[in-house]
Amino acid sequence: MHPVFSVDAFKAFSAAHDATAHNLANINTDEFRSMRLDLETGPEGKGVKPSLVTEDRNPGPVVHRQELVEDEQKVVRQREVAVHASNTDVAREIAQMIRHERAFEASARVVRTYDHLAGNIIDVLV
Per residue in 76-111, pLDDT (tens digit) is: 889 899 999 999 999 999 999 999 999 889 888 888
Query: Which residues does 15 contact at the CB level (< 8 Å), separation at least 6?
Result: 37, 50
Per residue in 8-57, pLDDT (tens digit) is: 888 888 899 999 999 999 999 999 999 999 888 888 887 788 888 999 99
So where are the chain's domains? 4-125
pTM: predicted TM-score of the whole model, two decimal places: 0.73
Is there a contact between 47 and 41 (Cβ–Cβ < 8 Å)? yes
What is the residue-wise DSSP string for 62-95? EEEEEEEEE-TT--EEEEEEEEE-----HHHHHH
pLDDT over threshold 60, residue 1: no
